[in-house]
Every structure is written in structure tokens, then in C-alpha cells.
């Protein structure tokens, strides 16, 4: 239980009765000697208390308005520790320890929106759009909770990077290259649409060999103490689902005794690094963990799986992500089909030249 802070005590001054019968005292208030003379002792003390109270109130107000960003963030986190998920608290602590470090000593009451904007532009430049938004939402919420003012800044990344993913014709090469690797099962589950937190929560008993499917429910995340915590609830209601047990994954699991234990015990960073090493060694885009989930969406589009069904398999509750991926891929198809349409009208000699160039390119790749 937090210890209650005592209010500042006020020592009563000595009152002298003058020959005239008036009450008099001399007091030190804020470093200044002040003489008070009133008709009664009570009136004299009341005047003193009024003066003293205004000084104390001003001091407390000044103290309140000198809260650093670091202090505001700590208060915000402490208030939510035990109520938010361990992974969320761990994320908050990571943001606090690694982002906007140059502003940690800044007074949140006096720092201007322009100063916050400059700090964000400087520190967030290389971050992904989603990560920028998550980090700033945390900082802005803590600042608003402390001051009542939410800084108004732009956080859109001026340099938008498209998340890399595997094209359908690249997936077989990736699957083959991952065979026998320690991260193979994790990678194949991600390629089957699972988020890494979902991968980490999959137990042997969730693998249904008979019905050729994997049950996806709950998530395993690391808390602020670095220990793995099992969450019964998934990111969204749609995340609790079954996904197909693809043949390469079935093959990787065959011969294993499937118990109630987790089937993947590597960290997210360990899986990420191995996936990217394999991709780099085989001339494939370095997709990391989440890029494999987007590769699932790419393959679903390629196979003509309706957007809504792909959403259900992948556990997307909001259609925006899946729709954006499908729209992006559709634009690439339109560009390719437009080129094919245009090439149809070329002279036969030009068509033959293009065909030779394409054959050479495919042979080299």
C-alpha cells in the first residue's frame, strides 16, 4: 500500500499584543520578512495563513509542472502493470528504454508540439509505419494523462517501405532451403498464416494428423521479466481457428511424439535471423517472421482463394490488411497484363526478341 504523503506543516507565528491592543507578528514568507498587524490574534493568524497557503500552493503547482517524460512514462506504466498483458508492459518498457532517449529529461508540461515533432522525425525515421504509430501512441497517452494535453504531431513515415514477402514461385525454394533447419517448423507455421506469438503457443496436441489441420488458439508471449506467459485469448476473436496442415509441415513433424508441450521453443529473434540467413543464401527476399504471414496472403491470392476465406484462414478480423495485400497484388497483375496486351501488337521480330530475352532471364534465375 502506497505511503500517504503528509501535507506541508505550517508553524504558527508568535503573536505580540501592542500597547494599542492590536495583535502583531513578523513572519518570513518565501524569503521575505512581512509585518502583520490586526485587531485580534485570530485575524493576525488568518492573514498569515492566507499568505502562507498561497506560497505553498504556488510551490506545489510549480513542482507539479516539472515532470520529465521519463517520470510520466513510469507513472503510466506502473498504473497499468498487472492490468495489461505482460507482453504489453514489456513493450511499454522497451519503448521507454529505447525510443526518444534525447527527450527523457524534457518537462512534459513545457515541451511544445514542435519539439515533440522534431524528436519524432529524428528518432522514428527508420521505423515501420505500424511500429511508429504504436510507439507514439504510448508516449502521447502518457503525456496526455499527465498534462491533459495530447501533442498534435504527424507520424506518417515519409519513406514508406513495402514489407517484403515471398512470391508464389519463390515459396517452394524457401520451403526446400528450410528443410532440417531448427526454425523449419516455426517458419512453416508462419507460412501457414500464424503470427509468431501463435506459433509459440502451438502444442503437440494442437496438431491433428487425422484431419490434417492445426488448431490455433491463444498466444505465448514474453513478459517484462523475460519469462514466457501463455495467453488464453488471441489477438482477435477471428484468430482462434484451424489452419491446414501443409505437407512440408506434416513431413517435418512425422516421427515426433506430439505431447502437450510447445513444439517451437526458439525465440522470435532466433527464428527471424535463421529465416533471413536462408533467404539471403538462396537469393530470396529477407522476409523475417511477419513477411511469411504476408507470403501466405500472396499465395492465397495467387490460388484464387476469395479474400474473405483467406481472412478466416489467416485470422484477420479487420479486412483492411488482407484487402490492402490483395489490392497491391492485383495492381501488379494489372501492370503485367497491360504489358502483355501492349506486346501483342508488336511486330513478330520484336516478339521473338522478347521471347529470347525472357527465356535467357528465366534460365539465369
pTM above 0.85, yes or no: no
> Residue 271's pLDDT is what?
95
**Exposure letters 83-106 (e unless 16+ CB within 10 A, then b):** eeebbbbbbbeebbeebbeebeeb
Kindly state whether residues 295 and 331 are assigned to the same domain.
Answer: no
Indicate if the pLDDT at residue 158 is higher than 60.
no
Kindly state whether residues 310 and 323 are assigned to the same domain.
Answer: no
Residue 182 — very low, low, confident or very high, per pLDDT cuts 50/70/90? very high
Lowest mean pLDDT segment, chosen from 48-62, 149-163, 319-333: 48-62
For 103-138, how does the pLDDT look when each residue is reduced to its tens digit (9 = 90+)?
Answer: 999 999 989 888 999 899 888 877 777 788 899 999
Q: How far apart are CA 293 and CA 319, in angstroms?
A: 15
Half-sphere exposure of 122 (CA within 13 A, CB side): 11
Q: What is the mean pLDDT of residues 40-60?
A: 74
Contact 187, 162 (CB under 8 A): no
Kindly state whether residues 174 and 248 are assigned to the same domain.
Answer: yes
What average pLDDT is seen over the chain?
83
Contact 203, 330 (CB under 8 A): no
Give, rounded to a whole angstrom, the gap between the first and last alpha carbons of the chain. Answer: 67
Full residue range of the structural domain in which residue 324 is found: 318-365
Q: What is the mean pLDDT of residues 73-94?
A: 89
Lowest mean pLDDT segment, chosen from 25-34, 77-86, 147-156, 298-307: 25-34
Contact 312, 241 (CB under 8 A): yes
Kindly state whether residues 213 and 287 are assigned to the same domain.
Answer: yes
Tracing cell 537469393 back to the chain, one arrives at: 283
Does the residue 154 lie in any domain? no
Residue 354 — very low, low, confident or very high, per pLDDT cuts 50/70/90? low
Does the residue 159 lie in any domain? no
Amino acid at each position: 500500500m502506497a505511503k500517504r504523503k503528509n501535507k506541508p506543516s505550517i508553524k504558527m507565528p508568535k503573536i505580540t499584543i501592542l500597547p494599542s491592543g492590536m495583535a502583531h507578528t513578523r513572519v518570513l514568507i518565501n524569503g521575505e520578512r512581512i509585518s502583520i498587524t490586526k485587531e485580534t490574534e485570530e485575524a493576525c493568524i488568518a492573514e498569515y495563513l492566507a499568505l502562507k497557503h498561497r506560497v505553498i500552493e504556488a510551490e506545489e503547482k510549480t513542482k507539479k509542472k516539472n515532470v520529465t517524460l521519463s517520470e510520466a512514462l513510469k507513472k503510466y506504466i506502473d498504473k497499468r502493470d498487472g492490468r495489461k498483458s505482460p507482453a504489453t508492459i514489456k513493450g511499454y518498457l522497451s519503448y521507454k528504454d529505447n525510443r526518444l532517449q534525447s527527450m527523457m529529461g524534457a518537462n512534459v508540461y513545457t515541451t511544445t508540439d514542435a519539439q515533440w515533432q522534431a524528436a519524432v522525425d529524428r528518432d522514428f525515421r527508420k521505423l515501420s509505419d505500424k511500429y511508429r504509430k504504436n510507439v507514439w501512441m504510448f508516449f502521447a497517452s502518457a503525456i496526455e494523462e499527465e498534462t491533459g494535453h495530447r501533442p498534435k504531431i504527424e507520424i506518417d513515415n515519409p519513406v514508406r517501405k513495402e514489407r517484403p514477402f515471398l512470391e508464389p514461385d519463390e515459396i517452394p525454394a524457401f520451403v526446400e532451403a528450410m528443410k532440417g533447419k531448427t526454425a523449419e517448423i516455426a517458419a512453416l507455421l508462419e507460412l501457414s498464416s500464424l503470427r509468431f506469438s501463435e506459433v509459440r503457443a502451438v502444442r503437440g496436441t494442437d496438431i491433428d494428423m487425422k484431419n490434417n489441420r492445426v488448431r490455433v488458439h491463444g498466444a505465448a508471449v514474453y513478459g517484462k521479466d523475460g519469462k514466457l506467459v501463455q495467453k488464453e485469448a488471441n489477438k482477435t476473436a477471428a484468430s482462434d481457428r484451424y489452419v491446414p496442415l501443409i505437407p512440408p509441415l506434416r513431413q517435418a513433424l512425422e516421427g515426433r511424439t506430439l505431447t502437450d508441450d510447445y513444439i517451437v521453443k526458439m525465440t522470435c529473434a532466433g527464428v527471424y535471423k535463421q529465416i533471413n540467413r536462408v533467404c539471403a543464401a538462396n537469393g530470396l527476399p529477407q522476409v523475417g517472421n511477419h513477411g511469411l504471414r504476408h507470403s501466405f496472403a500472396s499465395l492465397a491470392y495467387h490460388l484464387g482463394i476469395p479474400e474473405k476465406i483467406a481472412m478466416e484462414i489467416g485470422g484477420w478480423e479487420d479486412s483492411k490488411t488482407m484487402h490492402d495485400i490483395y489490392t497491391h497484388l492485383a495492381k501488379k497483375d494489372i501492370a503485367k497484363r497491360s504489358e502483355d496486351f501492349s506486346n501483342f501488337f508488336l511486330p513478330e521480330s520484336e516478339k521473338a526478341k522478347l521471347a529470347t530475352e525472357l527465356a535467357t532471364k528465366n534460365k539465369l534465375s
